[in-house]
Every structure is written in structure tokens, then in C-alpha cells.
Amino acid sequence: MHCTMDRRSAGQTLGEVLAVIVALVVLFFMIMTPVSRASGKPKRLACVNNLKNIGLGLRVFADRHAGEFPMNVPASQGGTRELTEDASRLWQQFLVLSNDLASPARLVCPSDVRRTRAGRFPTSPTNAARGVVFGGNQNLSYFLGLNASDEFPDSILSGDRNITNRTGLLSPGRHVLAAGAPLGFNDDLHGNAGNILLADGSVQQVTSGRLRELFRDALTNSGLATNGWLVP
């Protein structure tokens, strides 16, 4: 009789231990899931701030050049129009903002592990802080909308590079996108969402569906059939 009760007691104890372990595992995942989501928010907000600074730099340039952004201004006047066909030189489109951006580190999204954050521009003084010199698309997280215009404030000027279409991630290069393009975001940076900079300097945190709406509206309001984007 004594041995039988010990076995039952041992069996009940083992079952209770297993139940406690299962409960702890479930509790752990319940706690860690929102924590994991929350940990991405500061990076996304930092990305928003990056794009706001880029937008400010582009707006300052436009104010100095009759409302035109660098990609619409010839090099002889300080712009980058001659570079718009060469996506490998996209980084130089942003280099013209070096006087208005405190650091090229703002050209890389904090969530973008496939890009290297530069510490200084090649035009920085020789006594500037040491670090990687900004010098290529590997130091850049953001695409550039070639048809963005000061005349159309809701045209798309820039945004996170993790743009997708029907076949997957848009490859680095120059893309001509027409109405109805199945644009979206993958989960590389902000969990199947992204940040978009408009020509008026505002930044929107958008889903893939909202991105398609913004792109459609940009084409409709500008009267253009396509938009050209340079993707790093």
C-alpha cells in the first residue's frame, strides 16, 4: 500500500511539474512577443527621422534652385541630372546634401543590416571624426523617386529600399513603374511595412496597401504615366 501511494504521488508531482513548465513557456512567449515588436519601434522612428532630414536637405536644395530637386538640375548648376540613368551612382544623388545632413549615418536605416553606416562624407574636413567614408550604395538604405516634384507635394521622393513587386524584391537599379504596379514591402526592415518621404517633406509609415495607394495618387495628380525610381 505504501509503495502504491508513493507511485501515485510521484506521478501527480511529475504532472504538476510539466504543467508548470508548459505554463511558463506560454507565459514567456506572451511576454516576449510584444517586447520584440516594441524593440523595433525605436529603429523605425529613427528611420522616420532619417527620411525627414533627407527631405529637409532636398527641400533646402530646391529652395536654392527654383524649386527643383537635385536629379532635375544639371551638374553645372550643382545638381545630379546627368547621373539619373546610372543607379550605381545613386549615392552621389545624396552626396549633394552633405552640407545639410549632419552625418551620412542618416542615410542608413537602423534596421538595415545589409548596409554599412558611414561616419563621414568624403567632403568632410580632414579633422572630422574618423569612420567609414560615404562612398557607395552600400552606405545607403533609401531609394530616390526621379519624378518627384515640388509642384506635386504628394509625389514620392524617397523611402525604404525594401520595395517588392510581383516577382520579389526590386533589384538595385533604375525602375520605371507604371500605374497598377504591385508594389509592397518585404519584412527585411519594418515587418512588411515601410517609411515613405513625400515631396512636401512629410514622412508616412505605410503598409504595402497604402504604398500602392500613394503611388497611384502620385501618378494621377502629376498626370504622368510612369515614375522612375533608383533603388540602391
Q: What are phi and psi of 113, to 5 degrees?
A: -75, -10
What's the rounded Cα separation, in Å, for the pair 71 and 163? 21
What's the rounded Cα separation, in Å, for the pair 210 and 198? 13
Q: Considering the entire predicted model, what is its pTM?
A: 0.81
Write down the domain spans for the chain: 41-231
98 Cβ neighbours under 8 A, 6+ residues apart: 104, 121, 123, 124, 134
What's the pLDDT tens digit per position in 43-86? Answer: 989 999 999 999 999 999 999 999 999 999 999 999 999 999 99
Q: What is the pLDDT of residue 13?
A: 77
Q: Which of 94, 100, 171 is nearest to 136 (CA)?
A: 94
Kindly provide the residue ranges of all beta strands, DSSP E only, lying in the chain, ordered along the sequence. Answer: 142-145, 156-160, 163-165, 168-169, 173-178, 184-185, 193-198, 203-207, 226-231
What's the pLDDT tens digit per position in 163-208? Answer: 999 889 999 999 999 999 999 999 999 989 999 999 999 999 999 9
Q: What is the pLDDT of residue 25?
A: 56
Q: Which of 144, 143, 146 is nearest to 72 (CA)?
A: 146
- Give residue 17's pLDDT band: very low, low, confident or very high (50, 70, 90): low
Q: What is the CA radius of gyration of the chain?
A: 25
Q: What is the pLDDT of residue 78?
A: 95
